[in-house]
Amino acid sequence: MTQYSMDQLTAFCKRKGFVFPSSEIYGGLQAIYDYGHYGVLLKNNIRDAWWKHMVQLRDDVLALDSAIFMHPQTWVASGHVASFDDPQVDCRDCKNRMRADHVLEGHGISADKASLEFVNQELDKLRAETKLRCSACGSQNITPARRFSLMVKSNIGSPTEALCEENVVYLRPETCGGIYLEYKNTLNTLNPKLPFGIAQVGKAFRNEIVAKQFIFRTREFEQMEMQYFLRPQEMAATYEMWKEIRWQWYLQFGIQPERLRWYKHEKLAHYASAAYDVEYDFKFLGGFKEIEGIHARGDWDLSQHGKHSGVDLSYQDPQSKEKLVPHIMETSVGLGRLFLMFLDHAYTEETITNAKGESETRIVLKLHRDLAPVKVAVFPLLKNKPALVEKARAIYSALRPYFACEFDDNGNVGKRYRRQDEIGTPYCVTIDFDTLTDDTVTIRDRDTMAQVRMKAAELRGYFRGQIEN
């Protein structure tokens, strides 16, 4: 298993055009990142793999794309305005801001959903033992913990109106809020029968206390959420079903089962009956961290929105005419976190012997083929031989409507292989002088580096058998 640091991964992502720090020319913006060309391709493939399994292959899940801005009452009803916050401490010397629960966790004290009083008591004990120190400068001059709201506020309305509390809207802290608000329209227009789900992918925003964890925890991120509406008596079995579906999804895309585990939340919100996280063993974050949450939320969400809006959000059974407010279970995963997990899983450094017989380090992303940003790279053996370039271009043009392809004629073939290995391209096709006479090409496999010869006309069928997406 290749070990590497967060700095190495961050530098690699930037060098290869996967992820850039946002607003870099102005000095950056903490915990905000941009995705470059290969990053977008990889992220879209992960999103599509989720969507295919959660919507396309299911009869019981419908699609939604709701707006980021919602009526501000949405977040009052959900409880976010009153209590969506983290305990925060500051270093008085260097102004570093830290999450107090994470500070406690670093000392083996669990503070998951703990009260502010508990957090401050435990911090005081560490302070008395001179163990409470700033993570940046080591100072012991640390403030008591206080609540820090994660809600990101904005203001909409006429540009001539003064910015005032009445115009305040929130950038959604989770995408599921839009699903609850569109549950009734979905029910009235598409008439789904319980149990059914609504899924969506979109941006969410949280004013996170910065922990410098690259794209693991960002202030703007994408969530992929599915809310499943059901009868309360269906909850236990359905919950287990979705836990298994989600677990299998990770295995299907190549994650080793020993690097995944379930974390059971012992402290639950009063309305919840179960909450488990899928955790992945990140090499560069030093162990298991949350990737996805699967939560049984009872009827809290629809009841709250029904109460605050005054609109009846109950469901009527078409046969029995029984009326009920459906209960909800959700699967919720961050797209950026999945991106990081797949990179962590795929990033490999190998020592190989090159064509000159020297040993060199090969960096290769061993991504699942369906997730790879580029599926097939096409090379003419030599750049300065027009017949080779023309033939390679023709093969490239024939393949690109079906697969994400890249044409590369820079440097020697060995260098091109290295470049494609670094972005995880599973297949490289080289057009050489034999191609001009017998129409065969060389296909080189990313993982084994084995090469086979094949008729150019067979390439499409061959790749179709290997790549689904």
Under the rule (CB under 6 A), what is the footprint of ligand GAP?
174, 176, 206, 208, 217-218, 221, 223, 225, 290-293, 330, 332-334, 336-337
| 296 bridge partner residues | 274, 329
In degrees, rounded to 5, the angle at the alpha carbon of residue 265 between the alpha carbons of residues 259 and 270 is 155
Element spanning 9, H or E: helix 6-15
Q: For 116-167, give the DSSP string.
A: HHHHHHHHHHHHHTT----TTT--S-BPPPEEEE-PEEEE-S-TTSPP-GGG
- Name the DSSP class of 286: T
Long-range contacts of 57-60 (CB under 8 A, 24+ apart): 58/197, 60/192, 60/195, 60/196, 60/197
Minimum CB distance to ligand GAP, residue 219 (Å): 7
Specify the residue for token string 């295919």. Answer: 52
Minimum CB distance to ligand GAP, residue 173 (Å): 7
> Which distant-in-sequence residues (6+ apart) come within 8 Å of 266 by Cβ?
112
Minimum CB distance to ligand GAP, residue 410 (Å): 36
Minimum CB distance to ligand GAP, residue 293 (Å): 4
Specify the residue for token string 């009841």. Answer: 303
Minimum CB distance to ligand GAP, residue 188 (Å): 24
Element spanning 315, H or E: strand 315-316
Which CA distances in Å does 264 have to 273, 274, 277, 414? 11, 8, 7, 48
Minimum CB distance to ligand GAP, residue 241 (Å): 19
Minimum CB distance to ligand GAP, residue 308 (Å): 18
- Name the DSSP class of 24: G
Minimum CB distance to ligand GAP, residue 402 (Å): 32
In the complex, which residue's CB is closest to ligand GAP?
334
- Which has the closest alpha carbon to 431: 450, 413, 418, 458? 413
Q: Is the N-terminal amide bond of 195 cis, ω within 30° of 0?
A: yes
Q: Are 180 and 309 in contact (CB under 8 A)?
A: no
Nearer Cβ to ligand GAP (341/423): 341
Minimum CB distance to ligand GAP, residue 202 (Å): 12
The number of angstroms, rounded, from the C-alpha of 81 to the middle of its chain's C-alpha atoms is 25
Nearer Cβ to ligand GAP (113/307): 113
Tokens read off for 315:
């469901």
Q: Are 202 and 66 in contact (CB under 8 A)?
A: yes
Distance CA 228, CA 295 (A): 10
| 272 bridge partner residues | none
Question: What single letter denotes the amino acid at residue 179?
Answer: I
